[in-house]
Amino acid sequence: MDKPRSSPVWHPFTQHALRPTLPVVTRAEGAYLMTDDGRRVLDAISSWWVITHGHRHPRIVAAVKAQLETLDQVIFAEFTHEPAERVAERLVALAPPGLAHVFYSDSGSTSVEVALKMALGYWHNVGERRRRIVVMEHSYHGDTVGTMSVGARSVFTAAYEPLLFDVAQVPFPTAGREEATFVALDTLCRAGDVAAFIVEPLVLGAGGMLMYSAAVLAEMARICARGGVLLIADEVMTGWGRTGSMFACEQAGITPDIACYSKGLTGGLLPLAATLCRPEIFTAHWSTDRRRTFFHSSSYTANPIACAAAAENIAIWDEEPVLGRVTELAARQSRELDRFRDDRRFLNVRQSGTITAMDIAAPDNGYLAAIGPKLHASFQAANILLRPLGNTVYVMPPYCVTADDLTAIYDAIRVAADVVCR
């Protein structure tokens, strides 16, 4: 039974006038969601990019249950606890070398807010007047006012424009036109007033699964370093294996000054985020003068249950061949994608690790493209959870997905294209 029309629930990114009812999901297992009308839906987008190993991984479920026996929640400004300490220690070991401090929060957006505040706080505390933030065209960093400000202006942000702060933007480094990005970034970085450049490494997610090379990322990092500009890597989506390595920055061999991790941090089971930074940024706040304190907190900072889930997720990465699974999934994704490369209905067929994307050749595009609802209906009929971004269809499955699952996903994409390209 669909959720009754009288529900008081207001769902995210949902136009209720067009979706009066939503299916009720009752259970999740591996790569599948079960609904109360008896459907088994293949979760081809990892429940909005959070689920890494699969739903309800037994080890993480057990770790959460065990944690509940001892400590539920505690004020993190007064105490520390073992799960938070353990996760921080492992994060520092796993992250690019040089990131030494870990600040917890509870979502991708808050991890980015923390990163921006760390960067601004750093310059404030060292007494240099640098306040500008540089962003990349088409970027997405969250839906709070601060993160909307550093993201692309679009239909998503139109109503809130008066609240958004001003940023400088560099063009997306389209293949063959990377030089324009480097020149723009270099010019901004030389101006002396830029605090930080924030970027999604290798893949711009919500902006349309736009991809650029590790060499471009490395060059952008060099330009920032030359201009003394802090580099913030928003790995909220790209982290935890999505792009083929644990973190996308690894592929460029760079250490950002600040890195944001969330989505896959707990394997997708519970909300948690971490913002890591270099020692200089921590040290700039370290003082007997209380005015230099880093003034940020969420009520649930480092919730012990979420930290226990993260600790177990990291233990899975340490003890199981997760990266091998990721590599195998990437290879299978690549084989599936090959069958789309000379089909003229699909443009810009692309891949980064476990993520694939393609644009359906349609007269209109963008998030509100007319074909969007038709694609959505077609995928729903096939019991496959895919949520195209306008005319961009992407596949970002949990790592437990089977070869047969993948075939079903790509068959559904071909069927959907048959419908909309007729």
Residue from 141, 278, 332, 350 touching ligand PLP (CB under 6 A): that is 141
For residue 198, the cross-strand partners are 232
- Element containing residue 198 per DSSP (H, E): strand 194-199
Shortest Å distance, C-beta 290 to ligand PLP: 30
At position 87, the amino acid (one-letter code) is V
**What is the C-alpha to C-alpha distance for residues 347 and 360, in angstroms, rounded to an integer?**
6
Site mask, ligand PLP, residues 246-265, x = CB under 6 A? ----------------x---
Shortest Å distance, C-beta 142 to ligand PLP: 4
In the range 181-220, which residues lie near ligand PLP by CB under 6 A? 200, 205-206
CB-nearer residue toward ligand PLP: 30 or 108: 108
Q: Which stretch binds ligand PLP (CB under 6 A): 54-62, 169-177, 229-237, 402-410?
A: 229-237
Query: What sign does the dihedral 75-76-78-81 (CA atoms) show?
Result: positive
- Give the position of tokens 């999505």: 242
Shortest CA distance to 273 belongs to which of 238, 220, 310? Answer: 310
Asked if residue 218 lies in contact with residue 265, where contact means CB atoms within 8 angstroms, the answer is no
241 scored as a contact of ligand PLP (CB under 6 A): no
CB-nearest residue to ligand PLP: 108
112 scored as a contact of ligand PLP (CB under 6 A): yes
Q: What is the 8-class DSSP label of residue 225?
A: H
359 scored as a contact of ligand PLP (CB under 6 A): no
Burial 14-42 (b: 16+ CB within 10 A, else e): eeeeeeeeeeeeeebebbbbebeeeeebb
417 scored as a contact of ligand PLP (CB under 6 A): no
**What is the C-alpha to C-alpha distance for residues 151 and 156, in angstroms, rounded to an integer?**
10
**What is the C-alpha to C-alpha distance for residues 126 and 284, in angstroms, rounded to an integer?**
6
Q: Which stretch binds ligand PLP (CB under 6 A): 38-46, 104-112, 170-178, 376-384?
A: 104-112
Q: Which stretch binds ligand PLP (CB under 6 A): 17-25, 63-71, 140-148, 400-408?
A: 140-148
Query: Residue 100 contacts by C-beta under 8 Å, 6 or more apart in sequence?
Result: 92, 276, 277, 278, 279, 282
Q: Which stretch binds ligand PLP (CB under 6 A): 54-62, 135-143, 243-251, 410-418?
A: 135-143
Shortest Å distance, C-beta 419 to ligand PLP: 28
Q: What is the 8-class DSSP label of residue 389?
A: B
CB-nearer residue toward ligand PLP: 112 or 116: 112
Asked if residue 309 lies in contact with residue 270, where contact means CB atoms within 8 angstroms, the answer is yes
108 scored as a contact of ligand PLP (CB under 6 A): yes
Shortest Å distance, C-beta 38 to ligand PLP: 30
243 scored as a contact of ligand PLP (CB under 6 A): no
Which pair of structure tokens corresponds to residue 36? 């109360």
Scanning 95-168, the segments in alpha helix (DSSP H) are 108-126, 145-149
For residue 254, the cross-strand partners are none
107 scored as a contact of ligand PLP (CB under 6 A): yes
Residue from 109, 245, 251, 378 touching ligand PLP (CB under 6 A): that is 109
Which pair of structure tokens corresponds to residue 142? 């969250």
Residue from 42, 119, 133, 237 touching ligand PLP (CB under 6 A): that is 237
In the range 43-82, which residues lie near ligand PLP by CB under 6 A? none
Shortest Å distance, C-beta 355 to ligand PLP: 11
Interface with ligand PLP (CB under 6 A): 107-109, 112, 140-142, 200, 205-206, 234, 236-237, 262
